Chain A
Amino acid sequence: MSEDVLQMKPIWYFVGLILIIIGVIVLLAGLYYLFEPINFHIELSGLHTSIWWGVVLIIGGCLLSFLNRKPRDL
């Protein structure tokens, strides 16, 4: 096993990062369409799923990234 590998951040850190990025995009989409109505019908649109699901993804991503920020074994 090489030293490089020992120094790598865990996979969970990267999972967290991608969840944060996607969560932010989903949240932004939700906020944008609060003010700009969608031109096609979506069931349960009043729930504003994009907004709260975006927040869930961001919180999950932050937790994963923060808890796994230190480099260690794969």
Chain B
Amino acid sequence: MDQLLLNTGFPILSVIIFLPLAGALLLLFTKNDTICKNIALLVTSLVAIISIWLIFGFDKSSAQFQFGEHYSWINTLNINYTIGVDGISILLILMTTFIMPFCVLASWSYIKTRIQAFMICMLIMETAMIGVFAALDFVLFYVLWEAMLIPMYMLIAIWGGPRKIYASIKFFLYTLSGSILLLVGIIWLYTANNYSFYIPDMMWQDYSLTAQVYLFLAFFLAFAIKVPMFPFHTWLPAAHVEAPTAGSVVLASILLKMGTYGFLRFALPITPEATVIMMPYVLWLSIAGIIYGGFTALAQSDMKKLIAYSSVGHMGFVTLGIFVLNIDGVEGAILQMVNHGITTGALFLCVGMIYERTHSRELNTARGLGKYMPIFITFLTFFSLSSFGFPGTNSFVGEFMILAGAFEFDTSLGRFPYLALAAIPGAVLAAAYMLRMLQKIIWGGTDNPDQSWISDLNLREIVTLAPFLFFVFWIGLGPQPFLDLIHTSVVQLLDQFHAHQATTVAAANVLLN
């Protein structure tokens, strides 16, 4: 338990985890739609405000899990309610708490039916999502990871677009069948670790190589589907396109990060040797995802699909950064997770705003909006620039660090810069599809549809988008405070990883001699 710094004062983590759930219970007894919306907004904002305290109370110089809480849950199986935050998870938790109020705001007029149920689903999602990032007990993690499927399924299946049934079932089946073997892996780890589900206890143990490879494959299937990595990405465009705006934002900004978070939290520390063995395959799959996502996005006429495929590319960068296994790469990957959450979330909000006006997601019906929606276009332009990593915006920093990491990439055979070179076309493609979309929406051509009846953003919508823009530039121009939060944990993770690697290699050499 020495990796866990117990929190003796105000149980802040538990509060931000369970406050949304309490809000959801409260909503059960609220009949009025407006009151429902207000309660949901109030609760999510309150959670966001409370979570700011995490930044100030967080000790940046320590790689321990902080704000820890530990209660016994199921004694018989030694399952505990153990939570804590370290540098890897803190930014993701903050991102979750900050994005949720805007998801509620974005649904204000978008969702017209069964508002009460919608808000309940959103609040339950928030509890599960924060919980997943904070869980330090593998069963707690798995329970929340799976429990999330029900509200997310409902979000897509009830409030989704025309093909919502297909999309929601595909999402559910894909994610569930991916994580089923993870469950077996968890139980195996439990039996191999003196019947403990405590995650830090499972890290850096000497499991046999065969066991590690199987475990890694179980992890990989679960997390790669969630990320989603090429070729496990096919559920994503369907789910994104059909989900309501808030659902898309939650999906893109937060759910996808759970996959990459899983790699960092579980795959690297629990199966280090297998990670090294599998690394080349994962890296090339990442490159394939970057290129494939870029080309596919270039061919889309549906804006949501375009952004969904761009996500496949961006998340390819993140897995690339993680698996080059050096500090620049991993820190860049974590930062890029946050960036992608901000930028893609904002882009989905933008598309949602167009959809509310034109009731279409087709690029062609949105041609020439620039003339009538100047404020909107300003936002859209900045987010698009951010999406393809324009200098000065957040994604530039992230992608730059990841590419720097990829250039530094060291294998036992020497440096291997081709990896980074292979990823470069992805960055170019991103510019191509984003600028193409921008060009059409702002100017279009001579045959633009009549858009004169369309009104520009109202105050609520501006309030929804402005904070995203703020973070785009803050991270873009001054990323240091964010990197400071994650630095110590990443250094410790990689140090231990390479140290463990060295001892295993040494042991193997002794055996050989």
**A and B from one complex:** no
B residues near A, CB below 8 A? none
A residues near B, CB below 8 A? none
